Structure 1
Amino acid sequence: MNELQGAGVALVTPFNTDGTVDYESLGNLIDYQIKEGMDYLVVLGTTGETATLNAEERKQVWEFTSTHVAGRLPLVAGIGGNNTQEIVRQVDQFSISGYCAILSVSPYYNKPTQEGIYQHYKATSEAAKLPIILYNVPGRTGSNILPATAIRLAKACRNIVAIKEASASFAQFGEIMRDKSDDFLLISGDDPATLPMMALGAVGVISVVGNAYPKKVATLVKECANGNYIEARKLHSDLLKITDLCFIEGNPCGVKYILKNQGIIATDGVRLPLVPVSTQTQEAIEKEMEKI
C-alpha cells in the first residue's frame, strides 16, 4: 500500500451558513491540499463530522471528492461505527471509484472486549472490497485496540493493511512495530506524535492540522522519512501550538476557523453538538497564525 505512505489529511467538511455542505469550499480545500504537496486524502473521517451527515450526504461527499480529485491523489473513505451489521452493510455496498482503502474507527461507546473488537473488524474485512486501515483513538471511542489485537487482525485478515494509531502510548507503538509484519503499516493519528512515531518506524500521518498547513505537514513527513530529524524538529515545533489550539474546543472547530481566515473555506460553521470556537480561542489562533 504505497498510497498510504507519507502525509495524509483528514479533510474537514465545509458547510454553508444554512448548514448544507459547501461543495465550492470543499473543492478549494482539495485543490489546496494537492497544490501544497499532500500525498493522500481521507474523506469523511471523524474530522469530517461524519457522525452528523446522513447517508445521502456521505455518498455525495465521497462522489464529489472522487470526481474533483480525478485521480490526482489517492483517496481513503472513512466508514466506521459501533453497529457492526450497519458497517458491514456500508463497506459491502461501497463502490465509488477513485478510493484505495477504507479507514474504519474502532467501535465507540459500546466498550467491547478485545474479542469483540477482533470480531467486529473480522466481519468488516470479510465484507470489504477495499483494504482496511484500523483506527485506534481511545480518547474518542472509550476503548483501546491493544497491539496483540491489531497484530492478530493483520495476520488473520489479508485486507487489513495498516493501523492509524492515536492512543498516545509509545509503549503501544513500540509493541506494534516489534510484532508486526513488514507489510503492515503504522500511521500516526495524532499530529504532535508524528515525528517520534516516524522515528520508531511509522510511515507517516493522517493529519488534522494539515488541512490548514499541508505544506508544513508534508515537508515534516518527508524530512522524517529521509532521516533529516534536525529539519523535521523545526517544523514539528512550529506546529505544536497551533495544533493544540485546533483541538482546544473540539475538532474540527479550530482548524475550520483557521481555514476560514486563510480564505480556503467560506465559513467556519460546524454541526451541533459542535459549535464554533469562542472569541478567546479565535484571538489565540490569530496570534499563532501570525507567528507561523
Structure 2
Amino acid sequence: MNIQEAKQRLRGSIAPIVTPFKKDHSIDFEAFRKLIHWHIASGTHGISVTGTTGEPSSLTVEERVDVMKEAHTAINGRVPFVPGTGSTNHQETMYLTKKAQEIGADAALVIVPYYNKPSQHALYKHFKTVADAVDIPIIVYNIPGRTATNLHVETLAKLSRDCENIIGVKESNKDFEHINRVLLNCGRDFLLYSGIELLCYPMLAIGGAGHISATANVVPDKVAEIYDAWVEGDVKRAQDLHYDLMPLNDVLFKDTNPAPLKAALGMMGKINPDLRLPMDLPTGTLQDEIRSVLADYVEIADGIGLK
C-alpha cells in the first residue's frame, strides 16, 4: 500500500484486538482468529494487534511477531492491518517494525517510548530513524497517560514534514486543544485517530480519520457505525451512538485496560478472560458492574462466572 492509498484506506474504526490467553497463559490463537473474523463480519474497518489493548508488555518479542503473523493470515487482505510495533527499547521497535513490513502489514502503529521519558529532540530522532528504516506507513501513537511523555505538536509536525511515511497519529490525549492543533500544524490530510473513547465522535467533527477504540472489542458494529454514520452525513445517528456508548465506555475504563475489557469478553463467551501478571482481572464488585452494564448492549453467555 503506497502512501496515498494508505491515506484513503486507513480510515474508520481500526479495532485494537485483545490477545487472548489459555488457562496456562499461552496465547489462544484459535480464539484470536475467531475474534478477527467476528470483527470483520461486524463491519470493523481495520485491525490492529499488539497495541496497548493487546498487552504487548506481557508478550515476548517472539510472541509479538507470532501474533502479527497470525493476524495477517486471518485478515487475508479483507481490511487494512496495522500492528503495534513500538517499545520502550529503540532496537526492539526497529526490529518489530521491520518484521511488520516483512509480514505484509499495511502500516505500523509506533508508540511514544514509555518509562524512560525521552526529550522532544530524542523522540524526533527515534521516530525518524524508525520511519527511515521501512517503506510502510507509520502511525505515531501518543498516549501520555501511560507513557509519561507527551509528544508535542511541533515535534509531530516536524516528523510529518521530514518523513513522508509518517502519515498519522493515534491521540490518546484528553487535551482536545492539543488535538485540534495536530491537524492545524501537520495538515488537514494527516490521519488523526482518537484513542479516547469519548472523543471518537468529536474527532470526526474536526476532520479526524477515525478511531482506534478499545470498546470496539465488545461492540465492533456500533463503534464502526459511528464512523459510517458520520461519513454518510447522518450526524444525529453518530451523536446518538456517541451517547449510547458512554455508560459502556465508562465501565470499561474503571480499571486498567484491557482488564475490564477481557472480563467483558469472557462474560460474552468470546475468550478465556485471563491476563498475565502483573495485570489481573477486576475485582468481583467491578465484575458485577461490568456485567450489569454489558447486559444492556450484548448477550451474556450462560454460566459465565469470573470471580
TM-score bracket relative to the smaller structure = over 0.9
Corresponding position of 2:294: 289
- Correspondent of 1:196 among 185, 197, 202: 202
Corresponding position of 1:278: 283
Corresponding position of 1:23: 29
Counterparts of 2:61 and 2:196 in 1: how far apart (Å)?
27
Contact (CA 8 Å) 2:86, 2:97: kept in 1 or not? no
Corresponding position of 2:82: 76
Does residue 247 (structure 1) correspond to residue 253 (structure 2)? The answer is yes
SS in 2 for 1:78: coil
CA deviations over 1:237-290 (Å, ceiling 9, x no partner): 12112112212111111111111122222x110111110111111111111122
- AA of the residue aligned to 1:217: V
- Correspondent of 2:166 among 157, 160, 167: 160
Query: Counterparts in 2 of 1:161-240, with a 5 A limit?
Result: 161-240=167-246
**Identity of matched residues, %:** 35
Q: Are residues 42 and 107 of structure 1, via their aligned partners in 2, closer, same or farther at CA, if it must alter by over 3 Å?
A: same
Corresponding position of 2:300: none
Counterparts of 2:91 and 2:71 in 1: how far apart (Å)?
26
- AA of the residue aligned to 2:36: I
Does residue 127 (structure 1) correspond to residue 127 (structure 2)? The answer is no
Number of matched residues?
Answer: 291
Counterparts of 2:102 and 2:24 in 1: how far apart (Å)?
27
Does residue 41 (structure 1) correspond to residue 60 (structure 2)? The answer is no
Counterparts of 1:80 and 1:25 in 2: how far apart (Å)?
24
Counterparts of 2:45 and 2:95 in 1: how far apart (Å)?
29
SS in 2 for 1:236: helix
Corresponding position of 1:268: 273
SS in 1 for 2:82: strand
- AA of the residue aligned to 1:64: E
Counterparts of 2:104 and 2:182 in 1: how far apart (Å)?
30
- AA of the residue aligned to 1:285: I
Contact (CA 8 Å) 2:109, 2:138: kept in 1 or not? yes
- AA of the residue aligned to 2:225: T
TM-score by length of 2: 0.91
Counterparts of 2:92 and 2:104 in 1: how far apart (Å)?
23
